[in-house]
Amino acid sequence: MTSSDPAYIGADMLDTIVIGAGMAGIACAQALTEAGRQVLILDKGRGIGGRMATRRVTSAWGTMRFDHGAQYFTVGHPAFAAMLASLPGAVAAWDAAGQRDRQRYVGTPGMAGLPRAMAEGLDVRQGVEATALRPRAEGWEVVTLDHRFAAARVVLTVPAPQVAALIGVNHPLSLMLAAVEMAPCLTLMAAFPAHSPAPFISLRSENGPLAWIAQDSTKPTRPEFATAWVAQANPDWSVAYLEEDQDSIVARMLPLLCDSIGTAPEYALYSAAHRWRYARVTVPLGRPFLQDAGSRLYLGGDWCLGPRVEAAWQSGTAIAHNILELETV
Of residues 260 and 315, the one with the C-beta less far from ligand FAD: 315
Q: Kindly indicate which of the ranges 3-11, 36-44, 80-88, 188-196 contains the residues binding ligand FAD, using the contact rule CB under 6 A.
A: 36-44
- Does the footprint of ligand FAD cover residue 171 (CB under 6 A)? no
Q: Kindly indicate which of the ranges 55-63, 77-85, 198-206, 306-314 contains the residues binding ligand FAD, using the contact rule CB under 6 A.
A: 306-314
Of residues 45 and 220, the one with the C-beta less far from ligand FAD: 45
Cα dist from 177 to 113, 164, 316, 317, whole Å: 31, 9, 17, 20
Backbone angles phi, psi at 268, to 5 degrees: -70, 130
Backbone angles phi, psi at 263, to 5 degrees: -140, -170
Of residues 98 and 197, the one with the C-beta less far from ligand FAD: 98
Q: What single-letter DSSP state applies at residue 12?
A: S
Of residues 52 and 249, the one with the C-beta less far from ligand FAD: 52
Q: What is the CA radius of gyration of the chain?
A: 20
Of residues 52 and 290, the one with the C-beta less far from ligand FAD: 52
Of residues 219 and 308, the one with the C-beta less far from ligand FAD: 308
Backbone angles phi, psi at 33, to 5 degrees: -65, -40
CA 116 to centroid of chain Cα atoms? 12
3-state helix, strand, coil in the chain (%, to 5): 30, 35, 40
Least separation in angstroms between residue 121's CB and ligand FAD is 18
Q: Are 192 and 29 in contact (CB under 8 A)?
A: no
Amino acid identity, residue 82? A
Taking phi over 0 as left and psi of -120 to 50 as alpha, with beta for the rest, 136 belongs to beta
- Does the footprint of ligand FAD cover residue 209 (CB under 6 A)? no
Give residues 102-141 in contact with ligand FAD (rule: CB under 6 A): 129-130
- Does the footprint of ligand FAD cover residue 187 (CB under 6 A)? yes
Q: Kindly indicate which of the ranges 17-25, 146-154, 284-292, 318-326 contains the residues binding ligand FAD, using the contact rule CB under 6 A.
A: 17-25
Q: Distance between CA atoms of 173 and 167, rounded to whole angstroms?
A: 8
- Does the footprint of ligand FAD cover residue 301 (CB under 6 A)? yes
Q: Which spans of this chain sit near ligand FAD (rule: CB under 6 A)?
A: 19-25, 42-45, 50-52, 69-73, 129-130, 157-159, 162, 185, 187, 232, 276, 279-280, 301-302, 307-309, 312
